[in-house]
Amino acid sequence: MIPRFTPTFGYSDLFQSLKIENQKVAQEKLRSSFAGLYKARHIFFFNSARVALYALLKAYARPGAVLMPAYNCLTVPEAVSFAGYSPVFVDVDSASLNMTAETLEKSLSEETSVVLATHIFGIPCDIEEIIRRLRRRDVLIVEDAAPALGAEFRKRLVGSFGDATIISFQSIKVISGETGGVLLTNRDELADRVADVLNMAVDAEAPFKTFVKAFARKMATRRRTYSFLHRGYRVLYDEQMYKVISPRTKIPVHFLRTCSHFSSALVLRQMGRLGWNLSRRRKIAQIYQSGLADIPGLRLPDILEDCSPAWIQFPVSVDDKMAFYRHMQRYHVDVTWTYRYSCADSYGWNGFPNAKRAAQTVLGLPTYPSLSDDQARYICEVAQKYAGSSR
Ligand SMILES: *Cc1c(COP(=O)(O)O)cnc(C)c1O
């Protein structure tokens, strides 16, 4: 079975990251690595991107509406409400799956305090146009680049446009550190206040605990183990392709946490191969783009001109999500159901048809760097068979 995700680290990365001497210097080295890459002056590490966002909003301290796309990770509006702000949704464009300057305009109001420009699946949104439209307003523009480490908008790194940016090292992102997230900003005063919030954070998860989780995840994606676990999972859990999921309204205990030193070391080890990581993901996406271009009933995402996504997965849209999912499984390809919910539904908001439609129809094909070209071509062949069988 071809897994939907596999970790981007190897076993030697795991063991090297356990060494105390590597953990000690990891955060400082990672800081300079991000400072160089993003030309960012202030860099803060947290347990996850959602926590980084929470800390930023606490530091900004101007509660009000936080705008974000409705087709999104539910942990984002949750973190926003934990910080005392109100999540307000923006519909997405059905071709790009991202929020656009036009869809954003409809949700803007006097209450708007912050806008989250999200690069969903690592696909750049039209960040320049979004910033241009907000020029006359007093709002903080935060790039949600959680899945978009290394993605480029017109040759410039996504995450270097807004007032602040969050990036995630969670297991399915561009670089997996098992846990972790980073907050970048060039606003000095805001950074001072983020530092105060960070001082209130509880200590990171113990390194060994993170190591055990990361090791288990690595083991679980071995060929035989994966098929076995996958069968078990299908028996135990429901496999709905679309759901309305209730958001958490109460902040979990010890939510505000710093980044595990193990995760920092694990991410640092992989920064040196970020170029290779991204070029693999882009090559795989290219194989899908040419191999799946003319399949009836399968829609591929529109990419803005002159943009290079980071592709944490390759989203495709099909009317019968379950049928396609099951078809791929019959041929031993495990695709992900992506976000099988619309955040607008979760909060009981109506009128976000494209976000709902995306939740009902989008599936993600694997793009992790260790997937071979042959495997990607095999996935195209299997998808072509689906089109043949459903006509
Ligand atoms: C993954 C993701 C997040 C959350 O990142 P965590 O590190 O898991 O908190 C937020 N926004 C988007 C768009 C994501 O893909």
Question: For the segment 184-198, what is each residue's pLDDT rounded down to a tens digit?
Answer: 999 999 999 999 999
> What single string gives the DSSP state of each residue in 98-156?
S--HHHHHHH--TTEEEEEEE-GGG----HHHHHHHTTTS--EEEEE-TT-TT-EETTE
pLDDT interval class at 316 (50, 70, 90):
very high
Beta bridge partners of 43: 184
Mean pLDDT in residue range 134-142: 96
| pLDDT tens for each residue of 263-301 | 999 999 999 999 999 999 999 999 999 999 989 999 999
On the question of pLDDT at 391 being above 70, the answer is: no
Q: How many CB atoms are closer than 10 A to CB 329?
A: 16
- What's the pLDDT band for 390 if we cut at 50, 70, 90? low
Q: Is the CB of 315 under 6 A from ligand 1?
A: no
- Residue 118, ligand 1, Cβ within 6 A: yes
* pLDDT at residue number 388: 76
- From the CB of 78, is ligand 1 less than 6 Å away? no
pLDDT digits (tens, 9 = 90+) for 148-159: 999 999 999 999
CA distance 141 to 114: 6
| pLDDT at residue 8, rounded to an integer | 98
User: For ligand 1, is residue 280 a contact (CB within 6 Å)?
Assistant: no
Q: For the residues 334-355, what does the mean pLDDT come to?
A: 96
Which residue owns the Cα nearest ligand 1 atom 3?
146
Q: What is the mean pLDDT of residues 187-214?
A: 96
Q: Considering the chain, what percentage of its residues have pLDDT values greater than 90?
A: 94
Instruction: Determine the average pLDDT of the residues in 98-106.
Output: 97
**Distance separating alpha carbons of residues 350 and 336, to the nearest angstrom:** 26
DSSP state of 258: B
- Distance from Cα 384 to the centre of ligand 1, integer Å: 31
DSSP annotation of 209 reads H
Separation of alpha carbons 11 and 334, rounded Å: 23
Distance between CA atoms of residues 85 and 79, nearest Å: 9
Q: Is 119 in the pocket of ligand 1 (CB under 6 A)?
A: no
pLDDT (mean) for 343-365: 98
In angstroms, rounded to a whole number, what is the distance separating the alpha carbons of residues 302 and 317?
11
The C-alpha atoms of residue 151 and residue 180 are separated, in whole angstroms, by 19
Write 216-220 long-range contacts (CB < 8 A, 24+).
Answer: 217/7, 217/171, 217/178, 218/7, 218/9, 218/11, 218/14
Ligand 1 within 6 A of CB of 159: no
Tell me the mean pLDDT in the region 70-77.
Answer: 98
Locate the ligand 1 atom nearest the alpha carbon of residue 52 and give its number.
9
144 lines ligand 1 (CB under 6 A): yes
pLDDT at 150: 98
What is the distance between the alpha carbons of residues 387 and 252, in angstroms, rounded to a whole number? Answer: 44
Nearest CA to ligand 1 atom 14: 146
pLDDT for 232: 87
Q: How far apart, in Å, are the Cα atoms of 137 and each of 106, 141, 253, 361?
A: 15, 10, 35, 35
